Amino acid sequence: MLPATGPSPPRDGSQRPGGAGLDMDTAMPPPEHPSAVPLRELLLAVGAPLVDVLAAPAGLEVPVGDVVILDPEDETVPYAGDLVLVIGVRGRGAAHLVRSAGRRGASAIAVKVDVAEEAELLRATAGESGVALLAVRPDVRWEQLQSLCRSVVDDARLTLDTDIGDSIGDLFSLAQTIATLTGGLVSIEDSASRVLAYSGGEDADELRRLSVLGRQGPEQYLALLREWGVFQRLRAGEEVVRIEEHPELGIRRRLAVGIRAGSQPLGSIWVQEGSAPLTAQSEEALLGAARMTALHLLRHRTEATAGLRLREDLLAGLLEGRIEAAALADSIEVDHDHAVMVAAFAFSPAGGGAAAPAEAAPESRADRSEVELKRRRMTSLISVHAAAYRRDALVTTLGSRVYVLLPNLARRSAEASVLALTRKIVEAARRLLGVAVQGAVGSVVGRLTDVTESRGEADRILDAMSRDLGMDVATISDVRARVLVSETLAHLRADPRLRDPRTARLFEHDAAHGSELVRSLVAYLEAFGDVRTAAGRLHIHPNTLRYRVRRAESVSGIDLSDPNERLFTHLQLLMEHGG
Q: Which tens digits make up the pLDDT trace of 78-124?
A: 778 889 888 878 888 888 888 888 888 889 999 988 777 788 889 99
Q: Is the pLDDT of residue 30 over 60?
A: no
Residues 20 and 97 in one domain: yes
Cα 154 from Cα 158, distance rounded (Å): 10
Q: Would 83 be classed as within a structural domain?
A: yes
All residues at 6 or more sequence positions from 44 whose CB lies less than 8 Å from its CB, including other chains = 158, 160, 303, 306, 307, 310
Q: How many CB atoms lie within 10 A of CB 409?
A: 18
Q: In what order do the strands lie in the sheet with 51-55?
A: 2-3, 66-70, 82-86, 108-112, 132-136, 51-55
Q: Is the pLDDT of residue 575 over 50?
A: yes
Residues 137 and 17 in one domain: yes
Q: Which tens digits make up the pLDDT trace of 498-542?
A: 787 888 888 888 888 888 888 888 888 888 888 888 888 889 998
Higher pLDDT, 234 or 73: 234
Instruction: Mark which of 105, 133, 155 sits at the end of a domain.
Output: 155
Residues 16 and 114 in one domain: yes
Q: Would 397 be classed as within a structural domain?
A: yes
3-class DSSP state for residue 282? helix
Q: Is the pLDDT of residue 564 over 70?
A: yes
Convert 186-202 to b/e letters by CB count within 10 Å (16 or more is b): bbbbbbebebbbbbeee
Read off the CATH number of the domain in which 466 is found: 3.30.70.1230
Read off the CATH number of the domain in which 278 is found: 3.30.450.40
Residues 9 and 34 in one domain: yes
Residues 534 and 398 in one domain: no
Residues 377 and 449 in one domain: yes
Tell me which DSSP letter residue 173 carries: H
DSSP 393-432: -EEEEETTEEEEEEEEE-TTTHHHHHHHHHHHHHHHIIII
Residues 255 and 353 in one domain: no
Q: Is the pLDDT of residue 10 over 80?
A: no
Q: Which tens digits make up the pLDDT trace of 465-477?
A: 887 778 899 988 8
* Stretch 146-153: mean pLDDT: 71
Q: Would 462 be classed as within a structural domain?
A: yes
DSSP 136-162: EPTT--HHHHHHHHHHHHHHTS-----
Residues 170 and 266 in one domain: yes
Amino acid, single-letter form, for residue 439: G
Q: Would 173 be classed as within a structural domain?
A: yes
Contact 57, 127 (CB under 8 A): yes
Contact 270, 256 (CB under 8 A): yes
Number of domains present in the structure of the chain: 4
Domain carrying residue 549: 499-577
Instruction: Mark which of 479, 510, 537 sits at the end of a domain.
Output: 479
Read off the CATH number of the domain in which 48 is found: 3.40.1390.20
Residues 142 and 182 in one domain: no
Percent of the chain, pLDDT > 90?
A: 13
Residues 120 and 151 in one domain: yes
Q: Would 214 be classed as within a structural domain?
A: yes
Q: What is residue 43's predicted lDDT score, i.e. its pLDDT?
A: 77
Residues 185 and 140 in one domain: no
3-class DSSP state for residue 527? coil
Residues 204 and 260 in one domain: yes
Q: Would 285 be classed as within a structural domain?
A: yes
Read off the CATH number of the domain in which 556 is found: 1.10.10.2840
Q: Which tens digits make up the pLDDT trace of 289-339?
A: 898 888 777 655 544 445 556 667 777 778 887 777 777 765 666 666 678
Contact 156, 63 (CB under 8 A): no
Confidence band (pLDDT; 50, 70, 90) for 352?
very low
* Stretch 350-375: mean pLDDT: 54
Q: How many CB atoms lie within 10 A of CB 222?
A: 16
Amino acid, single-letter form, for residue 426: V
Instruction: Mark which of 479, 507, 534 sits at the end of a domain.
Output: 479
Q: Would 309 be classed as within a structural domain?
A: no
Contact 425, 345 (CB under 8 A): yes
3-class DSSP state for residue 242? strand
Q: Would 123 be classed as within a structural domain?
A: yes
* Stretch 352-375: mean pLDDT: 53
All residues at 6 or more sequence positions from 323 whose CB lies less than 8 Å from its CB, including other chains = 52, 53, 54, 55, 56, 314, 317
Q: What is residue 74's predicted lDDT score, i.e. its pLDDT?
A: 61
